[in-house]
Amino acid sequence: MPGRVSGSVRILLPNMYYGLDADKSTSPSTGDIYVATDTNRVYVCFTANFWSHPYREMVYNEDYETYLIQE
């Protein structure tokens, strides 16, 4: 089951979820963001019920900063 990001984060992401790629919702809502922890892929829902995959993967540097690599 996917997890939901909550608590103190730097920016407000009320619809950000994470978990295995295969576990992401099949009917996301507009504005949902899903981070697949097993494939390092980020999905964004711009249109209801459809995931877009604008980023190939997440990469991290030695300072644990995260960068998204666009397709």
Domain ranges of the chain: 3-70
Looking at the predicted structure, is the pLDDT value of residue 29 above 60?
A: yes
Q: What is the percent of the chain with per-residue pLDDT over 70, rounded to a whole number?
A: 55
Looking at the predicted structure, is the pLDDT value of residue 3 above 80?
A: no
Looking at the predicted structure, is the pLDDT value of residue 62 above 70?
A: no
Higher-confidence position of 41 and 66? 41
58, 2, 6, 56: which is closest to 25 by C-alpha? 2
- What is the overall mean pLDDT for the chain? 74
